[in-house]
Amino acid sequence: MLYLTIKQLHIAFAATSITLFAIRWLVALFKDPWLKHPFFRTLPHLIDTLLLGCAVWLCVILHQYPFVHSWLTAKVVALILYILLGYMAIKGGKTFKQKFLAGVLSLGIAAYIVGAAIYHSPWSWLA
């Protein structure tokens, strides 16, 4: 019962996090001042913290850990790439083209992470 609750929370936080990233990316592409709104500055960090907390809790419940299980290792590596590219897409890119490409790649990596989670395989959707 606890496992299913934490898993559903993790899924909900992941979906919310990816959606908020996509919105923030689109806002950043068009240099809209909304990006400085407190909603966009605090909520994503809160959601991502809860997402990570649920992920750690699931690892403990399932006794599956990154660097022991390949699919979790792949998710962690992909998550680091997602964060770096996400930063470029929202703040670090100097041109529209850089931000656009970084955002598309970030969303592609997010899709990979979802596939790795569903199939418990580093091959993600190809498993």
| pLDDT tens-digit series, residues 42-62 | 999 999 999 999 999 999 999
Output the pLDDT for position 50.
97
d(CA 112, CA 34): 29
Output the pLDDT for position 4.
95
Are 14 and 51 contacting, i.e. CB atoms less than 8 angstroms apart?
yes
Considering the chain, what is the average pLDDT of its residues? 93
- The domain limits of the chain are 2-126
Name residue 69's amino acid.
H
Rg (CA), the chain: 15
Q: How confident is the model at residue 75 (pLDDT cuts 50, 70, 90)?
A: very high
**3-class SS at 33?**
helix
Which of these ranges, 36-40, 68-72, 113-117, has the smallest mean pLDDT? 36-40
pLDDT at residue 35 above 80? no
